[in-house]
Structure 1
Amino acid sequence: MTIKKAVLALACFSMGLEATAAAPENRATGANTSELSSFIGDGQWGTTLLGDKLAFGDGAYRAFSRLDANGIPLSVGVVFHKDTLEGMPGGEGQPMHDGKTCFDVDGNNDIDIHSECVGGHSKTMHFGDNSTPFNSITINWEPHGHIPAGVYDKPHLDFHFYTASQTERHLITPGPCPGLMNCAQEQEAIVPVPDQYIHPDYMNTQLAFAHMGNHYVDSLSPELNGGDYTHTFILGAYDGRITFYEPMITREFLLTQPNSCFPIKQPQAFQESGYYPQSYCIRYNPWLEHYKVSLEDFQYQQAW
């Protein structure tokens, strides 16, 4: 059974698997709504729509989307105060994972939080109504990084911008296969995305994880060619379809207080019509002491 065929049957159950919380105020971010909207807008005309907010570390993340006067998307992303990078879970003597995605691999009726869980510590927020394909973002804090060793084993944050629904995502269930995947679903997850829908520089890692899916990496990324890992851009897929966009950013790089945008390599064609980003941005505002991680420069693409 494919994920999509199972959605209706398990929708009610899966919606409760991971709690999200909307909050009308910005108390935990340390900035008022007007200040956040100004930072999010970068001085451009438009409307800022604030989505969910969740505490993390010593601060909080706030999801947002931004539209121009005609309702065309300008950006989607999250903002967070610099204090959010302090007090993160998974320090010395603390578990590396939050226990949301685990499987009893050795069958001893006891979950080893260190070796039988994946995904680090995660929070999911919804953007609310917007005109992009992205409905939510899951932020995974990896206090010791993850595989492959020597590449992504630095403390970092994974920002998963999902086009797949949370119902679909949670139906990718844990199991004993690599990535703690249900073995039958692992084979679905690694089905190649047709060539026209993926930039030729991206390669299928066949590394699939429960509650996520498969991962495609840019073969020309510095960290895969003898350079350092500071930030990178990954694409997620399941059963031959793109399901998430993922900037991965080290905590060390965020602490340099960057203010830059980076191009997203575009495929020849798109599987569904809609507005898609041309770049991802990592910005720090020293006056507000806030970070912003966002997808930007949206262009409409017709599916074919």
Structure 2
Amino acid sequence: MTNQFKSSPFFTRMMCWCSALACIMLFSTCEDDEDDNLEGTFYGPVVAVGQGNARTWVTTDNAGAPMAVGVTFSEQAINSNGLGNGMKMYTLALPAQAEQTLYDHVMLDWNPQGHDPIPLYGVPHFDLHFYMVSEAQVAAIQPQATMDEMPAEQFRPQNYILTPGVVPGMGAHWVDVTDMNNTPDNFDKTFIYGSHDGNFIFHEPMFTLDFLNTLPTVGTQTMSIPQPTAYQQPGLYPQRYSYSYNATTKEYTISLLDLTEKD
């Protein structure tokens, strides 16, 4: 190619077109890479729990829509010696991908002596609250000895009843009267709904330390979540939940599964 051609206006325009085309192709490749990254499991920050740690996660499909959300904690985290003999509460932030879910944050509570009513729940166990309101709103909830205001009947899950009182910094609790886990001396695991001032504000898997210790032997346990006939707010509602143990990573996972859009 002659120097005369290289210095011609045509050559200059051709090089500009090629550069522009290269930029477009590079941008398109970057967009494809971003699309590829929409699918996967994304983790929240690690939080020290007992002698181990815990973190939240969200699993999304190839369009970036959340399919499941949960908490995974290390085997060392459930060592009762490391957790101690006093109640402990851990706030777990969710990853950015959880913004499309109902949930704002997660609270993990350790109850070494259980809690009221003692005949039902007076054994060492964990409460895992998936809150649909902010930390500030939860912290502002005041104690109340009487029954809280009820959500409208169509929003209440089947067979669930409101228990007396409002726990400060937590809310009122709804339990499934058909679940044997909510009868004396039978508590291993159960699923609780929480409300405040007539609105459901959390979903709560509640489970004993003894039950978790059975998972390495019995394997994953998956249950359906009772649903209402209508929903107070549109969003992705879990249809099932599960408990599992990974022998390779030595981790326990509690999952809310089959997130399904409800109007």
Is this a same-fold pair by TM over 0.5? yes
Is 1:297 the counterpart of 2:258 in the alignment? yes
2:58–2:70: 8 Å Cα contact kept in structure 1? yes
Q: Specify the alignment match of 1:214 in structure 2.
A: 172
Show the 5 A alignment for 1:135-284.
135-173=104-142, 181=143, 183=144, 190-225=148-183, 228-257=186-215, 258-284=219-245
| CA deviation string 1:187-227 (max 9, x = no partner) | 6x710111101123000102311110100000111133466
CA displacement at 1:71 relative to structure 2 = 1.9
Aligned residues: 220
Report how far residue 294 of structure 1 moved. 1.3
Cross-structure match for 2:57: 64
Q: Which residue in 1 is equivalent to 2:7?
A: none
- Give yes or no for contact 2:120–2:184 (8 Å, CA) kept in 1: no
C-alpha separation in 2, matches of 1:207 and 1:279: 28
Tell me what 2:94 maps to. Answer: 127
Kindly provide the CA deviation profile for residues 68-127 of structure 1, in whole angstroms up to 9, marking residues without a partner as x. 111221111111111111133333xxxx2xxxxxxxxxxxxxxxxxxxxxxx21000111
Give the TM-score normalised by the residue count of structure 1: 0.69
State yes or no: 1:77 paired with 2:44. no
- What CA distance in whole angstroms lies between the structure 1 residues aligned with 2:66 and 2:113? 35
Q: Which of the pair is proportionally richer in helix?
A: 2
Give distance in 2, aligned partners of 1:171 and 1:208. 12
| Residue 156 (structure 1) shift | 0.4
CA distance in 1, matches of 2:184, 2:91: 33
1:233 Cα deviation from its structure 2 partner: 0.4
Q: Aligned equivalents of 2:179 and 2:185: distance in 1?
A: 8
**Residue 65 of structure 1 contacts residue 77 of structure 1 at CA under 8 Å; is this kept in 2?**
yes
| Amino acid aligned to 2:50 | G
Q: How many Å separate the matches in 1 of 2:134 and 2:66?
A: 19
Which residue does the alignment assign to 2:42?
49
What is the alpha-carbon distance in structure 2 between the residues aligned to residue 73 and residue 64 of structure 1?
10
Query: The residue matched to 1:256 in structure 2 has which SS?
Result: helix
| Matched AA of 2:234 | S
Q: TM-score scaled by structure 2?
A: 0.79
C-alpha distance in structure 2 between counterparts of 1:167 and 1:227, whole Å: 35
Q: Does the aligned pair in 2 maintain the 1:205–1:214 contact within 8 Å?
A: yes
Moved over 6 A (4+): none
Q: Distance in 1 between matches of 2:258 and 2:226?
A: 13
Q: Which residue of 1 aligns with 2:16?
A: none
User: Quick check: 1:128–1:135 contact (8 Å CA) kept in 2?
Assistant: no
Q: Tell me the SS of whatever aligns to 2:256.
A: strand
Give the aligned partner of residue 33 of structure 1. none
Distance in 1 of aligned mates of 2:111 and 2:49? 13
Alpha-carbon distance in structure 2 between the residues aligned to 1:169 and 1:225: 28
Does the CA-based 8 Å contact 2:237-2:260 persist in structure 1? yes
